[in-house]
Structure 1
Amino acid sequence: MTDTGESTITVHGTVAAGFENVREEFAAVLAADHTEPGGQLAVYHHGRPVVDLWAGEGMAGDSLPAVYSSTKGAAHLVVALLVQDGVIDPDRTVASYWPEFAAEGKGGLTARELISHRAGLIWADGGFTVEELADDRVVAGRLAGQRPYWTPGTEYGYHALVIGALTGEVVRRVTGRSIQEIFEERVRAPYGLDFHLGLPEELEPRYVPIRPGVATPEQAAESAANPIDLDSLMAVAFGFASDPPLDMVALANTRAVRALGPASVGGVGSARGLAGMYAAAISEVDGRAPLLQPGTLAEIGRVRWTGTDVVTAEVDAFAFGFEASRAHYPALGEGAFGHSGAAGSQAYADPANGVAYGYTRRRFALPGGAAPENERLSAAVGEAVAKL
């Protein structure tokens, strides 16, 4: 391992021999970010930590920023484990597990279609407060009787703030326990992961508040020229059409959200925690067998949908609840899966190459979703692995 530093921004942490280029790229992308840069990067290779870096004011290796939708990776890992156990059959209807869900023409939707963002339940009439969004049971209860925004099963549309509550209610009806409880018992605690769906009060001093993004003049001009259409599905799904509009920064910075850890967006963790979770999913770690068996990995990594998302209007690719990561990072192998987060975080597993990757930021990367530097960082990791 090698200690690190950079003249324009101090980079802390270590890299294994052969991964020096990743350290250099991490320093370069943060030095190029003039919006108070700060982030963490962690990488495992075949279950062994090979990159552990951090930089920025107030950011340490064990800092715990909010990771927004990277939380969905943890939630859907729990679902994958229950499918692997034979506890959930993805081709059974949701209503067979959760009878109230059948209201308003949703009775034929399967669990596979639900986790694949095809339910059309992107929001509830009247919207949600931040306090309501913190509680998955409240969200699920409201959505059970909600009329869908499209015929269930016919379209793909990102259920940004509610998918974890929906799949979580299926988990609860089958097991009697929440996604958060199962994640803690089967994933976080056994591996000592610094990634929490429900941040304990005693860890609050390590929380790094998320800061709003800083728009470039070009981004500000684009936003002014093309304001969000409040009648669009995107405005509905992200709470922008609510009164008052949902404040995404305030959402993560609310203690109730961190305490309850809603399975769509409420996770709090370090890059180490994110990468460690995906390493545990695909590799032997500390003498423990991989959480997911080869057949399960093949199922959850298989691309099940590609096209234009009817909510975000973006071209995307999704696997079984996870983003199909190779569509965004071509250096990854077939079957790579993971999930990004609104503030810029990214985390994924690349089983073909034995790589698990985690990245966090303390400030929103605009316009949203995975920060663009993940492309450079992922490419650098791929180059290092290819040379081993």
Structure 2
Amino acid sequence: MTREITVHGTVADGFEAVREEFAAVVTGERDDYEGQLCVYVHGRRVVDLWAGEGVAGDSLYGVYAATKGAAHLVAALLVQDGTLELDRKVTYYWPEFAAEGKGALTLRELLSHRAGLIGTDGGFTLAELADDRAIAERLADQRPFWRPGTAFGCHALVIGALSGEVIRRATGRTVQELYQERIRAPYGLDFHLGLPAGREPGFRSAQPMLPTAAQQALLDGQPTGPHTLAAIAFNRHGVEPTDLEDLANQRLIRAVGPASVGGVASARGLAGMYAAAISEMDGKAPLLKEDTVAEFGQIHSVGHDLVTRLHRSFGLGFQATADTWHPFLGAGAIGHSGANGVQSFADPRAGLAYGYTRRRFAFPGGAAPENDRLVGAVHRAALSAR
């Protein structure tokens, strides 16, 4: 028996079509759907919707790779400050990184997923995946899986640890500390890199979604060997293979907030962070200057991703959201999706900041398919509201 799912929340005048689209998504989903949608335009919240049994606007979800957006907003701030220089070699900050032929790699190349350090030969334990410094120490000694700078591939579980170690060497502070101090706390964002124990009751555990027969056939056609680049990048080849769907359900991961995959957020937190990045918020100037947004949003790696074997595009730390996911967005949109269907980004040309969460994993990973409909409705409304 199908359960009727009620949409809660509010939309501003001119964004009624977004509520209708969200309601259509909810109706078309399984009867245990849970999700949230939040949108800001020029620093003003214009959409705040949620649906699902037991869900509220401030419920928290694991956001997996969307965490990378928070980590690399910190990196962008440090470049803007002059603390980091994109075209310096990584070894300027982190001398041990030079092992195994990695000495020529620049910070710019590292941030654009060109290092070839997608994992280690032996894999990581869960405790290591929760510890960015442990990951960085292992990777400093690792031989790259392709010649650094010659190609790119998603450094799914480790890019935040790599950039985070550069940040720690340059500042003496962790990504998590700087994010809390400069971004999360000043704006009161419900986007945490390290979830306090007191917020645990608001966390909604991630749940798997079984693929349809057609989707399973597609999966069966993908390379699944234990030593493929994908297996290494997603840590499926070691003595403790990673169950990605269960990763956010581990309190160890949530408590520490590793900078590649450990973030916990609501849609409000995701959208609020990107709104603060590009727009005036609460009387505060945008976190990033226009030139910084343009630098980090410029496409640096595009084409065949050696890990996912899909067409992908990266700026610096961020996905190039318009090319990878939503081609109608403005050039230079920055953001990052998450493996469980989460999507989050800023489109600076439209003044748009978007956050979407869902509890149940969506096939095949990354931004869930319904984001195409939702982002389209949001973008049309934002342009009409000018």
Coarse TM-score class (shorter-chain normalised) = over 0.9
The answer for the alignment partner of 2:196 in structure 1 is 200
CA distance in 2, matches of 1:226, 1:237: 15
State the AA in 2 paired with 1:304.
Answer: H
Q: Could you tell me whether the CA contact under 8 Å between 2:277 and 2:286 is conserved in 1? A: yes
State the AA in 2 paired with 1:155.
Answer: A
Q: Could you tell which deviates more after superposition, 102-111 or 210-219?
A: 210-219
Q: Secondary structure at the match of 2:238?
A: coil
Unaligned segments of structure 2, at least 5 residues: none
Query: Quick check: 1:214 aligned with 2:214?
Result: no
CA deviations on 1:243-290 (whole Å, 9 max, x unpaired) are 342111221111010011000000000000000000000000010000
The answer for the alignment partner of 1:145 in structure 2 is 141
Select 1:332's aligned residue among 329, 333, 356.
329
Query: Quick check: 1:293 aligned with 2:302?
Result: no
Q: Could you tell me whether the CA contact under 8 Å between 1:276 and 1:356 is conserved in 2? A: yes
The answer for the alignment partner of 1:247 in structure 2 is 243
Structure 2 matches for 1:153-168, cutoff 5 A? 153-168=149-164
1:227 CA displacement: 6.0
Q: Could you tell me whether the CA contact under 8 Å between 1:344 and 1:361 is conserved in 2? A: yes
The answer for the alignment partner of 1:77 in structure 2 is 73
Q: Secondary structure at the match of 2:336?
A: strand
Q: Secondary structure at the match of 1:340?
A: coil
Q: Could you tell me whether the CA contact under 8 Å between 2:296 and 2:318 is conserved in 1? A: yes
Q: Secondary structure at the match of 1:41?
A: strand
The answer for the alignment partner of 2:375 in structure 1 is 378
Q: Could you tell me whether the CA contact under 8 Å between 1:194 and 1:269 is conserved in 2? A: yes
CA RMSD of aligned residues (A): 1.2
CA distance in 1, matches of 2:254, 2:89: 31
TM-score by length of 1: 0.96
State the AA in 2 paired with 1:353.
Answer: A
CA deviations on 1:65-111 (whole Å, 9 max, x unpaired) are 00000000000000000000000001001011001100011010000
The answer for the alignment partner of 2:125 in structure 1 is 129
Select 1:97's aligned residue among 82, 90, 93.
93
Q: Percent of aligned pairs with the same residue?
A: 63
CA deviations on 1:270-315 (whole Å, 9 max, x unpaired) are 0000000000000000100000011111111111221100111100
Q: Could you tell me whether the CA contact under 8 Å between 2:297 and 2:334 is conserved in 1? A: yes
Unaligned segments of structure 1, at least 5 residues: 1-6
The answer for the alignment partner of 1:234 in structure 2 is 230
CA distance in 2, matches of 1:294, 1:224: 44
Query: Quick check: 1:20 aligned with 2:21?
Result: no
List structure 1 segments (4+ residues) > 6 angstroms apart after TM superposition. Answer: none
Q: Could you tell which deviates more after superposition, 331-340 or 277-286?
A: 331-340
Distance 1:71 1:113, change over 3 A: same
State the AA in 2 paired with 1:267.
Answer: G
Distance 1:174 1:244, change over 3 A: closer
Select 1:275's aligned residue among 271, 275, 284.
271
CA deviations on 1:136-187 (whole Å, 9 max, x unpaired) are 0111111111111111111101100000000000000000000000000000
Distance 1:226 1:329, change over 3 A: closer
Select 1:303's aligned residue among 299, 305, 309.
299
The answer for the alignment partner of 1:172 in structure 2 is 168
CA distance in 2, matches of 1:346, 1:167: 22
Query: Quick check: 1:362 aligned with 2:347?
Result: no
TM-score by length of 2: 0.97
Q: Could you tell me whether the CA contact under 8 Å between 1:35 and 1:214 is conserved in 2? A: no
The answer for the alignment partner of 1:31 in structure 2 is 27
Distance 1:54 1:140, change over 3 A: same
